[in-house]
Homo-oligomer: A and B are copies of this chain.
Amino acid sequence: MTLKGRHIVLVEDDEIMGGSIHQRLELEGASVTWVKLMGRGLSAIRTPRLPVDGVVCDIRLPDGTGEELYEALCRTTSPPPFLFITGQGGIDQAVRLLRAGAADYITKPFDMAGFLDRLALILRPEENVDLPPQTGISVGARRVDALAAEYAAADHPVLIRGEKGLGKARLARRIHDLSDRRAAPFVEVNAHRTDRASAAMTDAIAEVGEGTLHVNGLDSLSQAAQDHLIKTLAADAPFRTIASAWPAVDERVAAGELRADLLYLLKTHEIFIPPLSERPEDATWLAKQFFEALNRRRDPPLKGLSSHAESTIRAHDWPGNGRELRARLLRAVEAAQGEWLFPSDIFPELGAESDRFSTLAEARDAAERQQIVAALTRTDGHILEAAKLLKVSRTTLWEKMQKFGL
């Protein structure tokens, strides 16, 4: 995890503390604006040199407090994520600030590694204005992005391999947009729509000109379409080919369903997108990206993604990869019950208590409760009589009433 390209405002009057944070943040690649007065902080955040991705703010300052700073900002704008650090703060203050929308609150002295983790967690999601959408922040995802950038600069065919829902089509598009052919057309042939695949291939090749042809679903490409494609490529086609396929595409060759020469032509430059289940940090990162985007359109907006939801996302297996994640978040943000997004919103099948088969104990308790209520109704709430009716001792009935909260 790095802070490269991020702009962070540090408000801290203490030379030592401020110096060490400043130094460390720059080491991580962030650009840091360090101010030592509340007033300076106000202007540094209100009229920044660069968009502010986050603020690290001490509470006690020579000309005021961090709280005042935060409050002043809130009055005029929606402030960037604030991480407060303080030496002598109290619980009340922490609660007050968090409820006011601060992102985190850490007491001094703290351990620098933990501090950086928490800071990275809360930073405003990248704006992605200039950078195209990325795959993620994990090592694997970065390699994918790096390869995509590298291959975009070249002009050879590319094969993208990965499970469903990992954005293979999006990646193909990104390579095109970063390449010199970006002004020419980007045409996609989807081999999964099996009918008329060959005709679609012919049309696409006619249409693409000097652009990029994306063959989506190389594994399912019909024989005729394969032949057509390879013939065109052999004849020095003017377009660039990007193909995408499932991880197990080699088996298709072994099974005789895919021409080996076609695959090896493409395979010289290959990008493999690892499944989301192998990089949980990307799952949470992606979730946050989606959440921000979706929540912006929500009325009223949610307060955030609860930390439990985050860890559940991290633990889930995501067999449907990014597509599943996106679908679940879409649904969750739309249907959220409370003010925060909880695990049950994202995985409604967990709770829902609905079709889950009840255990013996539950069935038993439900029946007991029901019978007790019935007995109490019949006796007008007389516990002793109800106990007699139910043939249990008064004590037992009392115990059970406690248990069921009656």
A interface, CB within 8 angstroms of B: 33, 35, 40, 43-44, 46, 49, 71, 74-81, 89-92, 94-96, 98-101, 103-107, 161, 247-248, 250, 268-269, 272, 274, 278, 280, 303-304, 306-312, 314-315, 327, 331, 335-340, 342-345, 350-355, 357-361, 363-364, 366-368, 370-375, 377-378, 389-392, 400, 402-405
Contacts and interface: CB of A to CB of B under 8 A. Distances in A.
Contacts of A403: 40, 43
Contact of A308 (B75, B106, B339, B353): B75
A391 B78 contact: no
Helix, strand, loop or mixed for chain A's interface?
helix
Contacts of A339: 81, 101, 103
A43 B400 CA distance: 13
A374 B101 contact: no
Contacts of A71: 308
A101 B370 contact: no
Residue of A35, A79, A91, A352 with most chain B CB atoms under a 10 A cut-off: A91
B74 A306 contact: yes
B342 A74 contact: yes
How many copies, total?
Answer: 2
Given A98-B95, A100-B306, A344-B74, A314 B272 contact: no
A173 to B, nearest CB: 22
B280 A343 contact: no
9 contacts: A40-B402, A75-B343, A77-B342, A80-B338, A91-B91, A99-B306, A103-B339, A357-B390, A361-B392
Given A90-B91, A360-B392, A389-B357, A306 B371 contact: no
| The 3 nearest A-B residue pairs measured at CB | A367-B367, A76-B351, A101-B340
A269 B280 CA distance: 27
Contact of A354 (B46, B272, B354, B378): B272
A79 B371 contact: no
Contact of A371 (B89, B100, B360): B360
A160 to B, nearest CB: 12
Given A78-B338, A79-B338, A98-B98, A314 B370 contact: yes
